[in-house]
Structure 1
């Protein structure tokens, strides 16, 4: 195997890991789960991921969760605690600290500012039911029906 194909294989593997995180960010993820998705050991994944993306898989997961929380704080009719749990955090304190560190304001202040700007709210019950990404499903059959022909009057 050449050095070029090894580099491509590494990029493919870390991309699989990143895609796995993006699909499952709201679930309790362990580094071993992410590494298994990439087909790497935990330690090799951390090194390869950081070389490719400039941050560890754990930090990427945290940032992804905070980005999703920002989106929900803007548009959902849920309180900060509910959003904290919807995006995968188990501790409100850890969520608030990390959110403030990455965004620059507390989640509560971010939500107040977003709502003051007049963002439309999505009912909380809808977010709780449909807010997590679902696995893609392919249609069983494709229909090719033509629309009914217009009748001249």
Structure 2
């Protein structure tokens, strides 16, 4: 699988599908991997439904709302597509289904919050939309090994 979920925070909304200054700095910090992900989106944006700018809008929305409930309907409306077309186009553009992408991003955010160490585990789990600390622990263990 091409997509490494730790790369996606580097997406910044940009016009004309050109990376912003913040995007370029984050890409350099991560060893150029974000640039390769941007190139992947550009190459695979051949869907007639979802262009790269629409992908960036959805990714920005997901990043800003990880702590709230995200639905396929919300993401599809941001991309101005039906649920069916959005799910297929998103998977083609990003390399993962919307649900898998959101889950991975939540676990990445949890990793960052755990490393900060200033919040209890149960608070992190509930803030990121897990129904309990046990569900969070199971998902986290499954994702990280």
| TM-score interval, normalised by the smaller of the two chains | 0.5 to 0.7
Matches of 1:16 and 1:101, distance apart in 2: 29
Greater Cα offset, 85-94 or 5-14:
5-14
- Say if 1:18 and 1:57, in contact at 8 Å, map to a contact too: no
Q: What is the match of residue 46 of structure 1?
A: 87
1:58 and 2:106 are equivalent in the alignment: no
Q: What is the match of residue 32 of structure 1?
A: 73
Given the two structures, how large is their TM-score scaled by the length of structure 2?
Answer: 0.62
Aligned ranges 1:1-153 → 2 under 5 Å: 10-104=51-145
* Runs of 4+ residues over 6 Å off in structure 1: none
Matches of 1:44 and 1:8, distance apart in 2: 7
Over aligned residue pairs, what C-alpha RMSD do you find? 2.1
SS across alignment from 2:51: helix
When Rg is computed on C-alpha atoms for both structures, the one with the higher figure is 1
Matches of 1:21 and 1:72, distance apart in 2: 17
Gaps spanning 5+ residues in structure 2: where? 1-44
Gaps spanning 5+ residues in structure 1: where? 105-153
Give the number of the structure with larger relative contact order, counting CA–CA contacts within 8 Å between residues 6 or more apart.
2
- Say if 2:55 and 2:93, in contact at 8 Å, map to a contact too: yes
Given the two structures, how large is their TM-score scaled by the length of structure 1?
Answer: 0.59
Higher helix share: 2
Matches of 1:12 and 1:32, distance apart in 2: 18
